Amino acid sequence: MVSFYLQQANEILSVQAAAMFLDCWDLILNCILEPRSWVVVMELGPWVWGCEGCYDGEVILEFPFFHVYKDGGVELLRPKPISFSPPEIKDVKINPLVSARLFLPKITDPNNYNYKFPLFLFFHGSGFCANSAFTEEYSNHVAANAIEAKVLAVFVEYAKFPARPPPACYDDALGSLRWVASHACGIGQEPWLNNYADLQRVLVAGNSAGSNLAHWVVSQVEKYYQRGV
């Protein structure tokens, strides 16, 4: 568990740090009109965010994913994730700094040894500074996509602030697509992609900050086409 304490409302840098975790900067600005002591709590598992004393107060705004309390508290609501267990999960290294979790769905026709799945390249969210491809919540989410859509999923663990600040995350994201493309002729370093991925059908996606990475990666494909993507 990690806690961030904002001692005064006029400490803009601290407020911005909290907003990155809450993904609702405008709401934070509206909630800190009076100087007070704040705490934002982040837990792994399901995640819960809030401020001191906010859970016993009066709810003034209700949204599907969070509540706003009269005293300025914000509670982010996330149900416990449902577990999915695809037949195969593998963690791999794309390069010394970037890793990924692969999800291979079950082959429904065991006699069709030549069947290949579309490839789903995914980047998670959380403000370029939190969360991971290896957390239970996100792993379950991508596993569900792999099962329901019948795709081979590549879930990228990219650079996070402050250890490796932007633009490292953008370099990692583009590098992951180039790594996927290196398997186009069936001679890449990862056997699952060589044997089970149809690289004529590739979907690049993400949520929140990850969608920003996905958009940028796709926008760069034409520039790098002659260099292997």
pLDDT band at 19 (very low <50, low <70, confident <90, very high): very low
pLDDT of residue 122: 98
Does the structure show a pLDDT above 90 at 93?
A: yes
Instruction: Name the residue with higher pLDDT: 64 or 171.
Output: 171
Grade residue 101 by pLDDT with cuts at 50, 70 and 90.
very high
| 28: nearest Cα among 65, 60, 86, 74 | 74
Checking if the pLDDT of 51 tops 60, the result is no
- Structural domains in the chain? 2-76 (no CATH), 88-227 (3.40.50.1820)
Among 18-22, 51-55, 128-132, top mean pLDDT goes to 128-132
Strand order in the sheet with 152-157: 88-95, 98-104, 152-157, 117-123, 197-206
